Amino acid sequence: MDISVPARLQWFENQQAILVHHPLSLPLLFFSLFFLLCFNRVWPAKATNLPPSPPKLPIIGHLHCLGTLPHRSLQALSEKYGPLMLLQLGQTPALVVSSAAMAKQIMKTHDIIFANRPITTASKLFLYGCKDITFAPYGEYWRQMRKICILDLLSVKRVQSFSFVRKEEIANMVNDIKQSCSLGRKINLSGLIVSATNNIISRVALGRSWGTEYAELTTQVMDLFGILSMEDVFPSLGWIDVLTGLHRKMKKTSKTMHQFVDEVIEEHVLGRNDDNRKADQKDFVDILLDYEEDPTPTFEFTRENLKAVIIDMFVAGTDTIYTTLEWAMAELVNHPNEMKILQEEIHRVVGDKSEVDENEISQMDYLSCVIKETLRLHPPLVMVIPRVSSARSDIDGYNIPANTRVIINAWAIARDPKIWDKPNEFIPGRFIKNKVDFRGQDFEFIPFGAGRRGCPGISFGITSIESILASLLYWFDWESPSGNTNEKIDMSEAFGLSVHMKSPLNLVPKFRT
């Protein structure tokens, strides 16, 4: 193995390749790391009975083990070192969990101990010091925010009330594809899905569509959340992020996002007196402004809280829906027989109607199977948003120290051959008799996490995915640009906070008559 200093730092160079590097950043980095090694206690005191750990390098520990696709690298390591594995990521100890049984221990048995999130550079800058729901520290504030989210923003009733938004935006997307059909040319389906998803989320959360400019902003935010900054792994060397340009890029993008949200809120404030919408058709900003104007005696809801929650909803919601749809369509084109079975089901249920009615989707059992299988193979968050232990705990006989970061590899768990037959193959039919679900009760299948910190937006996301996917397959047949059914779509991954397809999904649609 090449253990030269440049090789050890290659991981950081890959992560920050998009940034502008200061000419003195690497020499200063070498000096700083040398200083840490010689004069600081980089490693924590030796604890007893820790989980297994691969050999580590000086200073950086196991950072070099992550590779360009960490979920795959960590899966390979877990096959050798076991489902509980302790890594040292710079100065940060991290427990990697790669089995359903161990995930259940973390997210159910010891859920309270592991209910906190680590505070990262990105979450501090973008979310006003973690005043949102996803990254907020576990406690009374988080409980109140989650209650608002579940009861007022993302309840089943609220999700159903916005069916007209999904209907209109899906119709717009279908019309755009129909125009391409008449020309017989390929389309960038990834781009169309992003646009439709962004418009749905924008209208539901922000009141109206805000255009492609803000869809691109959402992508930039997600990309930056996926970068592990120097400060995140070497807190004492956070100043190096300034030299590399990462801190400047994060500050610039967060400022743009905050200005955008300010503009959205100001538009809502000015229009509140003239707003005649029904209560169940208020968008998320309207509902949160109600809380700001009339806070409860025990819960202060400020403008920063409001903005942090809106960024949570807008960014995470768009990315989750888009990513799942992109992978689902790619898998179906690569498996035409599965696509045919699903299309036959959709047409049998919908009949000759001019649109797919959301009320009929519950009758589409195979559609549910296809979505479950897509989420199994391609979870939106391949590694559940990390947690951090608030106290010492014992997991499977091992000692887990306090302040240990926990990385749950949902991707590896969903491909565990001890649980899943032919785990790397796309087989939707496996869910016909298998009632395992993704809502956090079955730990072998946790694309949205589980326990207290599980994703509260599952119903909204799945409803949108079902509606869009059913419409794409009701109106059109799909094939690869070459027209050769033996030529498969490239399924290469691009890693970030969520894992997208590396290349845009270009397909040829054919209108079904």
What six digits make up the tokens of 166? 């999904």
Q: How far is it, in rounded angstroms, from Cα 429 to Cα 370?
A: 8
CA geometry: angle 94, 98, 103, nearest 5 deg: 85
Q: How far is it, in rounded angstroms, from Cα 174 to Cα 355?
A: 10
What six digits make up the tokens of 304? 């920063």
The amino acid occupying position 288 is L
Q: Where are the beta strands (DSSP E) in 149-213?
A: 187-188
| SS3 state of residue 68 | coil
- Given a contact cutoff of 8 angstroms between Cβ atoms, the answer to whether 323 and 378 are in contact is yes
Residue among 251, 246, 243 nearest 232 (CA) = 246
What six digits make up the tokens of 60? 């950086």
- Given a contact cutoff of 8 angstroms between Cβ atoms, the answer to whether 290 and 153 are in contact is no
What six digits make up the tokens of 106? 């973390």
What six digits make up the tokens of 9? 């730092």
- How many other CB atoms are there within 10 angstroms of residue 330's CB atom? 24
Q: How far is it, in rounded angstroms, from Cα 86 to Cα 405?
A: 10
DSSP 483: -
Q: What angle, 0 to 180 degrees and rounded to 10, lies between the N-to-C axes of helices 458-475 and 303-334?
A: 40
What six digits make up the tokens of 376? 């199994």
Q: How far is it, in rounded angstroms, from Cα 263 to Cα 282?
A: 18
- Given a contact cutoff of 8 angstroms between Cβ atoms, the answer to whether 331 and 426 are in contact is yes
Using CA of residue 413, residue 418, residue 419, residue 424, what is the dihedral sign?
A: positive
Using CA of residue 261, residue 265, residue 268, residue 270, what is the dihedral sign?
A: negative
Distances (CA, A) of 299 to 142, 166, 209, 292: 11, 33, 31, 10
CA geometry: angle 201, 204, 206, nearest 5 deg: 85
Is 455 assigned to a binding site?
A: yes
Q: Residues at the annotated binding site for heme?
A: 455
Q: Residues at the annotated binding site?
A: 455
